[in-house]
């Protein structure tokens, strides 16, 4: 079904090949997991398969790709789109029209399918109908990803190429997606799944591991391959934190916070030096809650205090010097022309001296030194997330808020970052993490809060 012959590719102005001499055969009905560390070439390979490379991203392209015996060099993206459903890692860029309904309708009509029937079917789906008419801008990241998956699956393509399809999904949605993919695979669909989530990938029938642009392993079982930067199956991320909590002063106090139709009379006290995890389904209001703490959203009802002082009495600069916030989608956070400028921007705004020393430390810690003068937009999503974290944490804030920090990172980077969070906690920082993966933080977390039905409940 898919044949790749000696495929090599390098991006313009890069001497390094992103893909090196890849040869691969994928038969009809295979369920393939494409694994490997950040920057190993997984996404580049996916872009080659759906011919975005070389038609949109030019570079040094060598070799051949055949899909259903058609040489893709002779095909445009839209010509392959019907038989190849693609979810890009940057899923947000795939949304163009104002509502999800229009997205689905547009796609189906282009392929000559009856759109009304499918829309009527989706309107009956209790888990999805509420998203249909919603404006794309108002959806949470998880809802956007879920909606796109539904749009892609509605076309009934023979081949599915899914790049990190679970990166923003909650546990229930991940399980549901897995069931759907298993069912589609049984029906004979070929699925290529790119992921760092081995718990999800273990259900595949073939595991291809890439490293530095080369295939280093191609097997039918997923063994312990942590040496290749892939998370071992059912890896234990430390034991539960049973340390007795010292009674501390309240760092952040939220009283009766309400926001539109998302939050209703939320009460929450976060103590000094506490590690708090906030969980909840996609679209439950986790990001909305923390956006209030950093004054990105105006309080409509209720109060927030930091160190006993009302939030409204703090200037934005005071808040930024105390709180480091890392956005869920790194594309929402980075906008400067180089990585160095990105870090410098934070320090400059806060009037901090010795910029060079702090920037060097952060670049070295997040393994970004080699990209120092590169545009952040040219990096992979995992690398972009590291830039976003470095640019927020470079100012050494007291409170750290991280929105889904680990989903884009490979195993090594995850371990490294968990260790870093432990160090920050030791230093007395207050840490708030929003995540759908509580397991990662087991050894660090003091309290877990769940947002359900617009309210916050302590687990």
Partner 1 sequence: MKNIFEYEDKDGIFHKADPLVKIIFLLIFWTVCFYANLWQLAIIVIFISVMAICFGLRKRFFQQARFFLIFVFPFILVFHLFFYQSFSAQNPSLFFFNPSLSIEGFKMGLQISFRLFCLLSSSILFIATTSPLRQAKRLSGIKILGHKIPKSIVFLSIFINRSIALIFNDLEQILDAQKARGFSLREAKIKDKVAGYTGLLIPLLTISLERAQKQAIALELKGFKSK
Give residues in contact with partner 1 (CB under 8 A): 50, 52, 56, 76-78, 81-82, 86, 88, 90, 93-99, 102-103, 105-107, 109-111, 133, 135, 137, 294-296, 316-317, 319-321, 325, 327, 331-337, 345-346, 349-350, 375, 377, 391-392, 395
User: Which of 88/228 has CB closer to partner 1?
Assistant: 88
For residue 346, the minimal CB distance to partner 1 (Å) is 5
CB 365 within 8 A of CB 417: no
Looking at residue 287, the DSSP 8-state letter turns out to be H
Angle, helices 115-124/100-110, rounded to nearest 10 degrees? 150
- Residues with Cβ within 8 Å of residue 387, at least 6 apart in sequence: 330, 334, 339, 342, 366, 368, 371, 376, 379
User: Which of 154/211 has CB closer to partner 1?
Assistant: 154
For residue 344, the minimal CB distance to partner 1 (Å) is 11
Q: Which residues pair with 268 in a beta bridge?
A: 254
Helices (H), 170-310: 171-186, 198-201, 286-293
C-alpha span between 136 and 98 (Å, rounded)? 6
Specify the 3-state DSSP secondary structure of 408: coil
For residue 137, the minimal CB distance to partner 1 (Å) is 6
For residue 19, the minimal CB distance to partner 1 (Å) is 19
User: Which of 142/397 has CB closer to partner 1?
Assistant: 397
For residue 279, the minimal CB distance to partner 1 (Å) is 22
User: Which of 388/445 has CB closer to partner 1?
Assistant: 388
User: Which of 267/373 has CB closer to partner 1?
Assistant: 373
User: Which of 210/319 has CB closer to partner 1?
Assistant: 319
For residue 21, the minimal CB distance to partner 1 (Å) is 26
CB 205 within 8 A of CB 30: yes
The residue whose two tokens read 């789109």 is 81
User: Which of 399/445 has CB closer to partner 1?
Assistant: 399
C-alpha span between 387 and 366 (Å, rounded)? 8
C-alpha span between 260 and 300 (Å, rounded)? 8
For residue 375, the minimal CB distance to partner 1 (Å) is 8
For residue 236, the minimal CB distance to partner 1 (Å) is 34
For residue 62, the minimal CB distance to partner 1 (Å) is 22
Q: Which residues pair with 258 in a beta bridge?
A: 301
User: Which of 21/94 has CB closer to partner 1?
Assistant: 94
Q: Which residues pair with 276 in a beta bridge?
A: 432, 447
User: Which of 41/397 has CB closer to partner 1?
Assistant: 397
């Amino acid at each position: 079904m898919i044949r790749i012959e000696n495929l090599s590719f390098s991006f313009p102005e890069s001497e390094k090949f992103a893909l090196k001499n890849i040869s691969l055969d994928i038969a009809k009905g295979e369920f393939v997991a494409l694994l490997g560390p950040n920057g190993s070439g997984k996404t580049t390979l996916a872009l080659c398969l759906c011919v975005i490379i070389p038609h949109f991203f030019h570079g040094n392209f060598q070799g051949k790709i055949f899909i259903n015996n058609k040489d893709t060099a002779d095909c445009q993206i839209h010509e392959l789109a019907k038989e190849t459903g693609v979810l890009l890692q940057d899923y947000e860029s795939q949304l163009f029209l104002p509502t999800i309904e229009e997205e689905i309708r547009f796609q189906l009509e282009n392929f000559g399918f009856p759109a009304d029937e499918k829309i009527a079917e989706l309107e009956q789906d209790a888990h999805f109908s509420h998203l249909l008419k919603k404006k794309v801008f108002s959806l949470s990241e998880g809802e956007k990803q879920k909606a796109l998956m539904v749009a892609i699956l509605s076309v009934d393509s023979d081949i599915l190429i899914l790049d990190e399809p679970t990166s923003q999904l909650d546990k229930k949605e991940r399980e549901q997606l897995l069931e759907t993919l298993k069912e589609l695979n049984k029906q004979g669909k070929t699925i290529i799944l790119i992921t760092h989530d081995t718990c999800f990938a273990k259900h595949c029938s073939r595991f291809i591991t890439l490293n530095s642009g080369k295939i280093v392993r191609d097997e039918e079982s997923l063994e312990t391959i942590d040496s290749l930067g892939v998370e071992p199956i059912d890896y234990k991320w430390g034991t539960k934190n049973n340390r007795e909590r010292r009674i501390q002063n309240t760092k952040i106090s939220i009283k009766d916070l309400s926001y539109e139709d998302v939050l209703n009379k939320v009460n929450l006290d976060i103590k000094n030096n506490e590690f708090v995890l906030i969980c909840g389904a996609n679209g439950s209001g986790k990001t909305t809650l923390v956006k209030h703490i950093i004054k990105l959203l105006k309080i409509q009802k209720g109060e927030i205090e930091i160190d006993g002082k009302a939030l409204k009495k703090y200037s934005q600069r005071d808040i930024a010097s105390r709180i480091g916030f890392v956005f869920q989608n790194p594309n929402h956070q980075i906008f400067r022309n180089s990585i160095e400028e990105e870090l410098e921007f934070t320090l400059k705004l806060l009037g901090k001296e010795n910029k060079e020393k702090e920037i060097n430390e952060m670049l070295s810690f997040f393994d970004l030194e080699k990209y120092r003068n590169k545009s952040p937009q040219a990096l992979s999503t995992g690398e972009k997330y590291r830039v976003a974290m470095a640019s927020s944490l470079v100012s050494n804030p007291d409170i750290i808020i991280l929105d889904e920090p680990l989903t884009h990172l490979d195993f090594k980077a995850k371990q490294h970052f968990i260790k870093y969070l432990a160090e920050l906690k030791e230093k007395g920082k207050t840490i708030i993490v929003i995540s759908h993966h509580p397991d990662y933080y087991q050894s660090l977390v003091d309290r877990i809060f769940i947002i359900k039905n617009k309210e916050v409940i302590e687990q």
